[in-house]
Amino acid sequence: MAAPLAHIIRDGISKEIPARELVPGDVVVLEAGKYVPADLRLIEASNLKIEEAALTGESVPVDKNSETLEEVNIPIGDRKNMAFMSSMVTYGRGLGVVVRTGMDTEIGKIADMISKVEDEKTPLQEKLEEAGKWMGISALVICGIMFGIGVFEGREVFNMFMTSVSLAVAAIPEGLPAVVTIVLAVGVQKMIKRNAIVRKLPAVETLGCATVICSDKTGTLTQNKMTVKKVYTLNGYADDVLDAKKLLHIANLCNDTKVVEEKGKVKLLGDPTETALVDYSLNVSIDKRELENLYPRIDEIPFDSDRKLMTTFNKMEEKIEVNVKGAPDVLLAKCSYILDGENIREINEDDVIRIKATNEEMAKEALRVLAFAYKTVDKINKNDAENNLVFVGLIGMIDPPREEAKEAVKKCKTAGIKPVMITGDHKITAVAIAKELGILKSNDEAITGAELEDISQDELVEKVKNYSVYARVSPEHKVRIVEAWKANGQIVAMTGDGVNDAPALKKANIGIAMGITGTDVSKEAADLILTDDNFATIVLSS
């Protein structure tokens, strides 16, 4: 997981060195496509985005900055001024000072946690061991009684001893291990047909005994694909594409997604949020490629984390159209007009109140909301491009839950199995998805990693049954949750795909890794691998 080379500035000289030679205090240059070679405190960040999914569970790349954070006990996913070893830079550039290397890094701490987790016996192994112990004791007692009776009746001592030994040998079922192995092997064959690969044979029986399933959210309970859920214009939520045609035109033109065809199938390459916009448009017969041919991009102002906007300049016959998308609160403040049906008029206070209320409504449903605006100009002026815009509408997106996962959760509850969601995403997102899946009924059943920090392990053992959703958690929290359930006598199955999940996967009675999105570290720590990354597969297999 470590980067082999690091681009550093040492003694005022820019050079590349092996990552293992980094020391605290070195200044590291971060560029798109490069792995972060150590834990860094960022001192410069220009549109910097870093993919931290394997470490934190964050489903999309994280925007980074160099600002000071005043809070204490900040979850890893919220440390915006830090870059962590083994994560990848997906956009922009930056500079960071090395603060931790090797085993002192966050990834190193996880490696240390994995090495300290001891292998535990499965329920089947414990039962066989218990059965073997009692069978042995029973055989010895019976043999002793037989020997005593024979000697009491005056039979030869040596013959009675040999008879007793023969009886003891006959009482031990030598074929039991072979029979158990064959039965488990048959189970492995059946599970392969259900998209589950068994790495450790006893896991077949353990899965059937599970009473609690702790599941990751992204990709397991959800589709791991951002999807447009709501489209809003001044006329309300759009049911007809004609009501939102201009909105979708802007969403496609102010968009860096690449649309390619492979073997007759359309494939979208780009940021998950932007590809969701293009995918939705294609489903309503608006093709980005056709729009770009009609209205080619001639210039742009790239997205900036400070501006929170992206702007493109598209040629429209003799005019130039400025298309803008970004954060609703920021973009709305730059709009002087609004598109009302097919007419453009000045925006008023009532419009602003309605738009802000709609944005809040979408946010409460855990939707990621983008606003869209435009204006027509005679020539490009980047300094004034994002002022006096015409507001067009909002689009809300989410990584939706799998339909089959809803049914699987229902089956879990019917069978007396407790489904629990553990995720690195924000609480509002986790709660919304959990409610839709039926995992959670009340907000009181959800807790964050920061809140978990204030609870001792003894308290957690008592309260763990009260919680169904854990949001913004760290690797240490996941291990604590598993330990708390086990302390209550439950058989715990834990799913995960990231490096951060590995300690909990190893600690659980049965660790289940994702075959598609899972890291090699998580697969190595797991007992079972799902080839379809689907929560429903766990329930069907159990």
Fill in the amino acid letter for 83: A
**Of 26, 112, 119, 216, which residue is the catalytic one?**
216
| 35 secondary structure, DSSP code | B
* Residue 542: predicted pLDDT: 62
Would strands 510-514 and 492-496 be described as parallel, antiparallel, or unpaired? parallel
Closest CA to 522 of 90, 122, 199, 189: 199
Write the DSSP assignment of 62-115 as a string of letters. EE---PPP--SS--GGG-TTEE-TT-EEEEEEEEEEEEE-GGGSHHHHHHHHHH
How far apart are the C-alpha atoms of 195 and 179, rounded to whole Å? 25
The pLDDT value recorded for residue 270 is 85
Residues 144 and 138: their CA atoms lie apart, in Å, by: 10
State how far the Cα of 432 lies from the Cα of 415, in Å rounded to an integer: 24
Q: Identify the sign of the CA torsion 414, 415, 418, 423.
A: negative
Q: What is the pLDDT of residue 352?
A: 95
Interhelix angle 349-364/427-437, nearest 10 degrees? 70
Residue 521's pLDDT is what?
Answer: 87
Secondary element (H or E) of residue 267? strand 265-269
**What residue type is assigned to position 158 of the chain?**
F
**Amino acid at site 388:** N
**Residue at token pair 């043999």:** 143
Q: What is the C-alpha separation between 300 and 310, in angstroms, rounded?
A: 8
Write the single-letter amino acid at 204.
V
pTM: 0.76
Please name the residues in contact with 516: beta carbons below 8 A apart, sequence gap of 6 or more: 219, 531, 532, 533
Cα(499)–Cα(533) distance, integer angstroms: 16
Within a 10 A sphere around the Cβ of 533, how many other Cβ atoms?
A: 23
- Cα of 1 vs its chain's centroid, Å: 18
Which secondary structure element, helix H or strand E, spans residue 262, and what is its range? strand 258-262
**How far is 20 from 85, CA to CA, in rounded Å?**
12
Catalytic-residue membership of 425 = no
Q: How confident is the model at residue 540, as a pLDDT?
A: 67
Q: Using the structure block, give the residue that is written with the tokens 């204030």.
A: 454
Measure Cα distances from 370 to 206, 287, 310, 344 in Å.
45, 20, 11, 21
DSSP assignment letter at 199: S
pLDDT at 466: 93
**pLDDT at 92 (0 to 100):** 86
pLDDT at 71: 82
Residue by residue, DSSP assigns 382-426 as TTTTTSSEEEEEEEEEE-PBPHHHHHHHHHHHHTT-EEEEE-SS-
- Spatial strand order in the sheet of 528-530: 196-198, 528-530, 510-514, 492-496, 212-215, 418-422, 469-471, 446-448
- Average pLDDT for consecutive 10-residue bins of the chain (542 residues)? 76 89 94 90 91 76 89 84 91 93 91 81 75 82 85 83 81 75 80 83 82 86 88 86 87 94 86 92 93 95 86 93 95 95 93 94 90 95 94 93 88 90 87 91 90 92 94 89 94 88 90 85 89 81 63
